[in-house]
Each structure stands twice: as C-alpha cells, then as structure tokens.
Structure 1
Amino acid sequence: MHILANSDTVEDQLLKLQVRDAVLEQVTAATQYAETKQQAVQTLRTAMPDLQRTAQRTLRHAGSSQQVQCRLEEIPFAARRYSGFWLPAGTYTALRIELGSAQGHNWFCVLYPALCVGSSEARYADTEENALVFGGYQVRFALLDTARSVWQKITD
C-alpha cells in the first residue's frame, strides 16, 4: 500500500495517517484469508470502491475537502530495510492512494504477506513465505565493497 499526502504540511501528513489507519483496517479484514498474491490483488480490486469511500469519508470527517484517488498499479520501489528484512528493489503491485495533489511525503507497507498490520488479528507471513518473498536477496553496493576491500588490504 502506497499513500501519498496532499503536501508536507503537518495537517496533510496527519490526514494521511488517519486515512492509512482507516483503509488498513478495511484491507486487513478483506485480505485476511488470501492465500496467494493473486487472491489478495483480486480482493483489493473488488474492494476498491469501498476503499475509496473509506478514504474519502475519513477526510470529510476530519474536515478536509481533498479528493482521493485509489487504484492498483505496478510501481517501482527502491530496496528498503523494513521490519527486519531487506525488501529488494523492484516493481510491485501496489494499492496506491493519492490524497489531494499527492505532492507530500508518502507512506508504504507490504500488504501481502501482511507485514504492515500491527493488529493481533493480522496474519503475518510465516518463515516459508518470508523466504519466498525475501530469500536470496542481499542489497550490496559495489563501490562500498571495493572501498572495504582496498581498506582491508591497506590495513593488513
């Protein structure tokens, strides 16, 4: 899930977090029984109108007139350290939620397997799923590796 705030003002960033909480609760309930990425994506496609209404209602309740756009799309993400894992860089299917002009800082999390849900009811990825998603990848930087190697030779 990838949420972009209208702007970087404190107010817009707080609105983004309110929308995150409301939509994440709904997404968690909708996808809790998905056993594959494809099932999770199909469930999100079906729930999209409700997710958009939830986001819009959350903004209205907070007194905001910002518009909301929700869609599923392929988005390139950089490698990131997340909840004890390295997420490899790549293009991922994302539930993208744009608030207002979507010019502010973003927030993201992994919906499947569910790594962003803090609820005790959430289904977290098991070891096998983590290996499938994250296994075999280690983000390294060639320049840094070369510099370490040279430094090691100098100091030995």
Structure 2
Amino acid sequence: MKALRIKWQYAVIALLAVSAAAFGLLRPQLLPTASSTKQKLSATDRIRQNPPPTLFTDAEITPIGKQAAAQREKADALFAQWKKAHGTTRDDKAFAAWAARQIPAPPTAKDRTAELHQVQALAKTRTAAGKKAATWLELNGKKDVWKLYLHDQRELIPARQ
C-alpha cells in the first residue's frame, strides 16, 4: 500500500482556511461591535448633543406662513368642489384625473425669469446665522425636532384631545 503524500503547500492553505473560518466564527463573541456599544439615542438626547442655533424670527417666517395659508385655503376650496360633486364615495381614478387637471400650467419664460431674480435677491440677504439655522434644520429637523415637539405636546395636552 502506498502512503498518501500531500504537498506542504496544500497543508498550509488548509490550515489558513480553517484558521480564517474559526476567526470569523469566534470574532463576534471576542470583540464588541460598534452597534452593540452604542445605544439608540432618543430625539431629546440627539438634540441635547447638537442643540439648535438661534432659529428664524417670527418676522422672517410670517411671509412663508401667509403663503402656506393661502395655498391651504385654495386647496380646501378645490376639495370642497370635488366633494360637492362626488360626495365621499371613493373613486381613486376619477380623483387622480381631477387632481391632475387642477395643477396649473408651467410658468412662462417671463415668470421663470422673475422667479429666478427673486431667488437671486433672496440669496443676497442670507446671513451667517440664517445659514447656520438652515443647515441645522436640514440635518436635524427632518424628524428629531418634530418627535420632540410631539412628545412635549403629549405632556401638555389632555389625552382626549
């Protein structure tokens, strides 16, 4: 009977493969991962870590609020027309077609140019404080601020409301 001879290179490769597999299986138990060491922070904790700068004044926000209120009034009036004509019966296809007809035509070239000039004029009025506030809101205001606001409101408003 001939003895089975294995080349030494194959033995080394097999040893390395077994070592790598063992390391891969044991590593999670040996080293704590980044996700296991960090606990999930609440919205309050995230805002405490990165508090908001002074945000916009009421005078800065009021014109935007007026524009939003005007749009809301128009939307409410349009929906009241839909509801009067169609009632509350669900008809997604008809509603989608009706809603598409309510969208105004794209602005003319003259209107787009006027809007561009408004944006360019607005850019000249930006301050460092305003940029800082806008940046903070972009990074943190998407949901953390609103979660905190909702949490605070729940503490102040009776449950029945």
TM norm. shorter chain > 0.5: no
More helix by share: 2
Q: Which has the larger radius of gyration?
A: 2
What is the TM-score of this pair, normalised by structure 1? Answer: 0.26
More strand by share: 1
**Greater relative CO, 1 or 2 (CA 8 Å, sep 6+):** 2
What is the TM-score of this pair, normalised by structure 2? Answer: 0.25
